[in-house]
Amino acid sequence: MKALIFDMDGTLTPSTKKISLEMMDTLSSIRPSYKKYLVTGSDLNKVVNQIPEEFLLKIFSKVFTCNGTRVYDTNLDLDDETKPLEPDLVHKIELIDHYSQADLNHLISRLLSIASESHTKYKTGTFLEWRGSQINFSVVGRNCSTDQRENYVIWDNKSNERRKIVKKLEEEFSGWGLGFNLGGQISIDITRKEWDKTYSFKHIPENPLDCIFFGDKVVEGGNDYNIAMKCGKYYDVSEPKDTILLLQKYLTKSK
């Protein structure tokens, strides 16, 4: 195996929370023979809010945001003043290049209608987050507090609300070429079917069979499933502590 690929929320960090010092120390101790890549559904602003930018530049060769559709080169020469000193955007794609504004307006209106129909206990606002190549949709809203998020996770596990919404959207937008996948704890990622996390392999030089993936949504319909299935090996984790334990065999020395 030549490369380790990591999801962020639930894998390297608690969902929406900052990375721990223990995780940073573990990642720093991985044998240098392994290339390391970060592939997340979040945008770069959320990534740097959870993982310090200087650490991204130190550890990862590339950072893939929005499920791999935005590619940042982080393998930079920080001693060369003529080169970028922050993650360098080298590739991006946009939904607007494939759909008319009228079509996107119709999709967004339908998502807001679905949010209004939900019987979840809390609705907090920011039900939609536009990420260029992706729409992140949450019926509880991305403004929710930690307690409200945990309440929704319990509700979703009991009701399977997100899976039911995905099925409804797949039926209503059949033929649009859209993919609907569970993202994180509270949301649904909406993008083109071919723009799931496997899209990142267009910009990862290693063969997928030489890669090991770490993620917490390696279930059918989860946004880690397709990339995990394409890799030579994968680990389905429940929390960052699992990742730390699994990484022990890839460290320079045992801890």
pTM: 0.84
Listed residue (67, 8, 15) closest to 190, CA to CA: 67
- For residue 84, the one-letter residue type is P
Strand spans (E) along the chain: 3-6, 35-39, 62-65, 70-73, 88-92, 128-130, 135-137, 178-183, 187-192, 211-215, 233-236
Q: Is 9 a catalytic residue?
A: yes
Query: Which tens digit of pLDDT belongs to each residue from 147-192?
Result: 999 999 999 999 999 999 999 999 999 999 999 988 888 999 999 9
pLDDT band with cut points at 50, 70 and 90 for residue 82 = low
% of the chain surpassing 70 pLDDT: 96
Q: Is 25 a catalytic residue?
A: no
Higher per-residue confidence, 175 vs 78: 175
Residue 31's CB is within 10 A of a number of other CB atoms, namely 11
Query: Which tens digit of pLDDT belongs to each residue from 216-246?
Result: 989 888 889 999 999 999 999 999 999 999 9
Given a cut of 70, whether residue 78 has pLDDT beyond it is no
Token pair listed for 113: 């209608």
Given a cut of 80, whether residue 80 has pLDDT beyond it is no
